[in-house]
Amino acid sequence: MNSNPNVPPPFGVYTPLVTFFHEDESLDLESISKHVLRMAEGKVAGLVIQGSNGEAPHLLHDERKLLVATVKRTLTENGFPGIKLIVGCGAASVRETLLYLSEAREAGADYGLILPPAYWTAGMSAPVIEKFYRDVASSAVMPFLIYNFPGVTGGIDISSDSIISLAKENPAIVGVKLTCGNVGKLQRVASALPGGQFAALAGKSDFCLPALVAGSHGVIAALANLVPKLHSELLRLYEAGDLKAAIELQSKLSNADWALLKSGVAGVKKTVAENFGYGCGKSRRPLGNGPAEVAAEVSGPIDLVVALEKSLS
């Protein structure tokens, strides 16, 4: 067990990194390193590796270890050792989840991020899911966050009651990523658990500002792959009490987030490549490549926030 398992990740912006591949579907470590540095320069508090946007189900164990080690080395060698690494470690069994946690820790991770098991969806009642997390927490080599994303778990949606009780009982559970978009759930969790011991995090740019009002510890946002500085700016505006400017920026981020969702994970990578000059829109099959053409209603909101990102010093 980690010697200090009840310290949550710090408040801030976390980018769930996309994983760049070459045309032959091998890891493009050069583009990944360039992406990591741009995120670091965008003042993110941390990086989420091997999440949904990182195509975790498509990566082998050795590739996962190499990826984490590459990100850690890139940050350290370029003067960003304080940026936290949260690594996706969810699996269908407690045994493999613990193995992923161990491998990620050895490669340089600070925290794990764990989806509920979803293969046997019909059998995943609340008690079964809670026991899964308790069993993982009892043997975990590092602290971790619960990952609630019904869209990738066959509709499994962990309740605030389960999250709160698990966090209170298990010091290794230090946060939750709520991609479900339920701000009421975030409010209940944040109000029930001390901020110094638990981080309830919004899981999308789309509701970042409302989530901050509800007690979010920051945001884990796919759109930050494009515009990390804008997300950092939104948090700054909120903390400074400039609600009018924060609402205006949130509107732009919400529209861009919705547009980006329509292009898929490969589309995120293609948009990064087109605007920042590294990587390509290649994903491992069956996801395929980014769209050949992007409709104006998709490109317009994204172009707007990219232009704003590039205008920030």
111 catalytically annotated:
no
Whether 286 is in a domain gets the answer no
147 catalytically annotated:
yes
Q: Could you read off the pLDDT of 192-209 as tens digits, one per residue?
A: 998 889 999 999 999 999
Contact 269, 280 (CB under 8 A): yes
The set of residues, in sequence order, having a beta carbon less than 8 Å from that of 182 and lying 6+ positions away, is none
Distance CA 188, CA 76 (A): 37
Distance CA 118, CA 138 (A): 21
- Could you give the number of structural domains in the chain? 1
Binding site, annotated residues for pyruvate: 220
> Which sign does the torsion angle of CA 149, 151, 154, 160 carry?
positive
145 strand-pairing partners = 113, 175
The set of residues, in sequence order, having a beta carbon less than 8 Å from that of 6 and lying 6+ positions away, is 143, 171, 172, 174, 197
Whether 16 is in a domain gets the answer yes
Whether 288 is in a domain gets the answer no
Query: What percent of the chain clears pLDDT 90, i.e. is strictly above it?
Result: 92
Binding site, annotated residues: 220
Contact 295, 258 (CB under 8 A): no
Whether the predicted pLDDT of 13 surpasses 60: yes
Whether 112 is in a domain gets the answer yes
The stretch 108-130 carries a mean pLDDT of 97
Whether 142 is in a domain gets the answer yes
pTM: 0.96
Whether 233 is in a domain gets the answer yes
Distance CA 233, CA 236 (A): 5
Q: What is the pLDDT of residue 289?
A: 86
Q: Residue type at 293? A: E
Q: Could you read off the pLDDT of 240-291 as tens digits, one per residue?
A: 999 999 999 999 999 999 999 998 999 999 999 999 999 999 999 999 888 7
Whether the predicted pLDDT of 1 surpasses 70: no
From 72, 177, 204, 270, active-site residue: 177
Task: Write the secondary structure of the chain as one string of H (helix), E (strand) and C (coil).
Answer: CCCCCCCCCCCEEEEECCCCECCCCCECHHHHHHHHHHHHHCCCCEEEECCCCCCHHHCCHHHHHHHHHHHHHHHHHCCCCCCEEEEECCCCCHHHHHHHHHHHHHHCCCEEEECCCCCCHHHCCHHHHHHHHHHHHHHCCCCEEEEECHHHCCCCCCCHHHHHHHHHHCCCEEEEEECCCCHHHHHHHHHHCCCCCCEEEECCHHHHHHHHHCCCCEEECHHHHCCHHHHHHHHHHHHHCCHHHHHHHHHHHHHHHHHHHCCHHHHHHHHHHHHHCCCCCECCCCCCECCCCCCHHHHHHHHHHHHHHHHCC
The vertex-171 CA angle with 169 and 172, nearest 5°, equals: 120
Whether 77 is in a domain gets the answer yes
Q: Could you read off the pLDDT of 58-88 as tens digits, one per residue?
A: 999 999 999 999 999 999 999 999 999 999 9
CATH number of the domain at 58, please. Answer: 3.20.20.70
Range of the domain at 76: 12-239
From 14, 100, 111, 147, active-site residue: 147
Whether 256 is in a domain gets the answer no
Would you say how long the chain is, in residues?
313
Whether the predicted pLDDT of 41 surpasses 60: yes
